[in-house]
Structure 1
Amino acid sequence: MPVRLTLSPPDRVALLIAAAGLAGGGLLYALGLRSTPLAGLPGRLALVALVVMAGAELLRRRAPLTALAIGTAAFALDVCAGSLVANVGMYTDLVYAAVLYGPPAAYRRIPRATEAITVLGTLLAVALIRDPTSLLVGIALAVVLVAPAWTGVGVRVHRDAARAARLAAERTALLAELDRREAVVAERARMARELHDMVAGHLSAIAIHSSAALSIDEPEASREALGVIRQNSVQGLAEMRRLIGLLREAAGADEPAPTPRLDGLDALLERARTSVHDDRFSFVLRDERGAGKLPVPVELAAYRIVQESLTNVVKHAAPGPVLVELTRDGDGAGPLTVRVASVLGGDTGPRAPGAGAGLVGMRERVALLGGTLAAGPVADGGKLWEVRAELPVESEEKTS
């Protein structure tokens, strides 16, 4: 298959410079406004140099080094045949374009090369002419070579800095978007945990007592079950309102919603005792955490762990003692240990259906605080089910 070489057309700036150079150079030649030839070449060659220089201008951006090489040859011919100002102007643009659009090596070397050529040209002129006017050669070389080269350096430095700033801004915007998405995901997970922990216990109690009301054809038992269902429905509605309050607080509401504290564990145990409706269950709270104040996140996590553990007791545990224990090591200055132990249920299945998200939510809460969680059968031949969580507690100075 033959290879086709496609060349993109020159940009508008290159076309304008080439056209202006051709028109201006032709007019100057017609008026005879050109310098004295150095090598006695025919003046017509200045027009040849003009055409070649204009053609090189068309490559100033697509192939800047090639354009500079062609322009250098045309400029040498122009000087030998009687220089036109238009050729000089276009050549300075080629030097500038080579530094601005060329590769990094050209950007570093061309300015140094122009300085070296200017110095050598000045010394050569002084040695040959031996007159103070020979210094004008050095000035001319500096104007034609050094000035456009360093102008290109300055423009390229600012262009690269602007490009780097733009890339940095885009990277910052990308990181901000990633942070926003991560925050949204984390907030959704937090609200999912809150929703599960607040509502699951009430719905489990409602499911258990509604099943009992349907299966036992006794008016008194049905009336009592309906009372428990109503109580849990009201409490679940209150919890949902609190959750809505949290959402409104995040949206800028005036009044923040209250956060559950460990002082409300007695009410949690009483609710669980009412939900199971079995005298063989006994719920005991042993609070040995001391007088030290706990940070709000730790209290909320401990409260939710106890709440979910009691929900699981209502669903799965066999009748027997249920112990909720809160302890702190180091005279009330160490981590908070939350322990909930109950009798392991049999193979009869759960009293109410569940989604299996309770342990996942507890592990997420503990992990967010940097603690540990263990849940499973323990002691007495595996007849007890225990949930144990250790929650690190930082001092008020660290958390403030």
Structure 2
Amino acid sequence: MARTLARPHRDDLWIAAGGLLGGVLLWALGIRTRAASDSLVLWHAAWAPLLPLALTAACEPLRRIRPRTALLAGTAALVWDTVTAGSVVTVVLYTDLMYAAVLYGTPASARRIPWITGMLTVVGGVVPAALWRDPQGLLIGLGIAVVALAPAATGSLVRGHRDAAEAARLRAGQTALLAEMDRVQAVTAERSRVARELHDMVANHLSAIAIHSTAALSLDDPGTSRDALAVIRENSVAGLDEMRRLIGLLRDGSGDREPAASPTLDGLGALVDAARANGLDVTLDAGHGQVPVPVELAAYRIVQESLTNALKHAAGPRVHIGLWQRDGVLDIRVTSPYRPGDTPRAPGSGSGLTGMRERAALLGGTFEAGPRGARWTVRAALPLTEGDAE
């Protein structure tokens, strides 16, 4: 593929045109940098200064897109100008090329050009003065400083400020991006937390409602239907209370309801009683001491969700819950009868297992669930150190 050349900047074209016209005007008025009789003038033709002027002006459109090429050609034009009567516009245009070479050139050029022009200034001032034994030889170095060193130093200073501003802009953009990423992560984490709470709060009650409503519709027994409706009403009320509690958790404290306290392991008895009322034969074996609040809430929710799954999927009613504290870990184990191929009594999405696994992971613990022989086993190990919780 052919390489596409960058187009000159419009301002550079105006600079070239203005410099050329200005130089021609000064030439027409007879304004020169040196008299025609000057011993340095080797080319005495009246129109001779116009040639280096035209070459320097032609370099201006390249000052941004090819700064090094423009500077080299401009240097040749300046040397050419010194053997003619000279034009002040050629010198002025050359200082602009020197400035642009530092400002728009490569980083290497931006570092080297000021040093080179500085060395030329020193050499151009000291050597002539030493050879001629005349202090006026220092004026040559001063001229080099004005034509080359000053614009190069100015370009370096401007480039430094421009690079610093660009770096600050990039840092600000990166900071804004990191802040947005943190915000998205915080929102995602909060949505996951609310999803877990919502699922764990109401799934148990809704599963019981679905199972008992199915029983009430399938059995033509007024007594059984009445008992099922009583269980449905009890779970509906409990589910509504849980939803109100979740709404309280979501409020910012300015509403008309304060958030209720988080459930604790002391509430496992009531949870077991509710499971028994839903038809499960639950035994609870607990032996633990003081447990940090995050661990306590996670353990409660894991047991609650395990009972919900047992209500929907277990092959029989017998469920065993064990909680033991050993070696700085709260070990939770819930087992229920399992028979492959059984159809669930209520539909499920699998989000309950995901929520339990996330709760254990957030505390730095482990979680596993699956069949072991004729029993479905849910096991979680939660560290009791507060620092493990996120």
- TM-score w.r.t. length of structure 2: 0.90
Shift of 1:303: 0.8
SS in 2 for 1:68: helix
Aligned counterpart for 1:362 among listed residues 349, 356, 363: 356
* 1:258 partner SS: coil
SS at match of 2:33: coil
CA contact (8 A) 2:81 2:87 kept: yes
Q: Distance in 2 between matches of 1:4 and 1:283?
A: 79
Shift of 1:22: 2.8
The answer (yes or no) to whether the contact 1:249–1:257 under 8 Å persists in 2 is no
The equivalent of 1:25 in structure 2 is 23
Where 1:45 maps in the other structure, the secondary structure is coil
Find the aligned partners of 1:19 and 1:268 in 2 and give their Cα distance: 89
Given the alignment of the two structures, is residue 265 of structure 1 paired with residue 268 of structure 2, yes or no? yes
Confirm whether residue 57 of structure 1 aligns to residue 27 of structure 2: no
Partner of 1:201: 204
- Correspondence for 1:164: 167
Aligned equivalent of 1:375: 369
Residue 39 of structure 1: how far off its partner (Å): 3.3
Alignment coverage as a number of residue pairs = 385
Q: Paired residue for 1:40?
A: 42
CA 198–329 in structure 1, closer or farther in 2 if over 3 Å, else same: same
Aligned CA RMSD, in angstroms, stands at 2.6
Match of 2:347 among 343, 353, 363: 353
* Pairwise CA distance, 1:347: 5.1
2:298 is the counterpart of 1:301 = yes
TM-aligned CA deviation for residue 236 of structure 1 = 1.0
Q: Is structure 2 residue 270 aligned with structure 1 residue 240?
A: no
Q: Percent identity?
A: 56
**Structure 2 partner of 1:314:** 311
Give yes or no for the alignment of 1:67 onto 2:66.
Answer: no
- The answer to whether the Cα contact below 8 Å between 2:94 and 2:147 also exists between their aligned partners in 1 is yes
Kindly tell me: are residues 129 and 82 of structure 1, through their superposed partners in 2, closer, same or farther at Cα, counting changes over 3 Å?
Answer: farther
The answer (yes or no) to whether the contact 1:41–1:80 under 8 Å persists in 2 is yes
Distance 1:40 1:48 in 2: 14
Measure the CA separation in 1 of the matches of 2:273 and 2:264.
16
**Matched AA of 2:217:** L
Deviation string 1:267-302 (CA, Å, 9 cap, x unpaired) is 1111111111xxxx5322233111x2x332211111
C-alpha displacement of 1:343: 3.1
Whole-Å separation in 2 of the counterparts to 1:157 and 1:259? 58
Q: Is the 1:245–1:257 Cα contact (8 Å) retained in structure 2?
A: yes
Give the counterpart letter for 1:274 in structure 2.
Answer: A
What are structure 1's unaligned runs of at least 5 residues?
none
Q: In the TM superposition, what whole-angstrom CA distance separates every residue of 1:300-356 from its partner, at most 9, and x where no partner exists?
A: 1111100011112212234454322222114xxx11111222333575433222222
Q: SS in structure 1 opposite 2:83?
A: helix
Instruction: Say if 1:100 and 1:152, in contact at 8 Å, map to a contact too.
Output: yes
Match of 1:15 in 2: 13
CA deviation string 1:94-131 (max 9, x = no partner): 11111111112211221121122222222342245331
The letter of the residue matching 1:325 is: G
Residues 96, 250 of structure 1: alpha-carbon distance in 2 compared, 3 angstrom cutoff: farther
Is the 1:249–1:256 contact (alpha carbons within 8 Å) kept by the matching residues of 2? no
Query: Residues 28 and 34 of structure 1 are in contact (CA less than 8 Å); yes or no, is this contact kept in structure 2?
Result: no
In structure 2, the residue matched to 1:393 is 384
Greater alpha carbon shift after TM alignment, 310-319 vs 385-394: 310-319
Contact 1:21/1:54, CA 8 A, preserved across alignment: yes
Amino acid corresponding to residue 393 of structure 1 in structure 2: L
Alpha-carbon distance in structure 2 between the residues aligned to 1:375 and 1:4: 62
Change over 3 Å in CA distance of 1:254–1:210 after alignment to 2: closer
Structure 2 letter corresponding to 1:386 = T
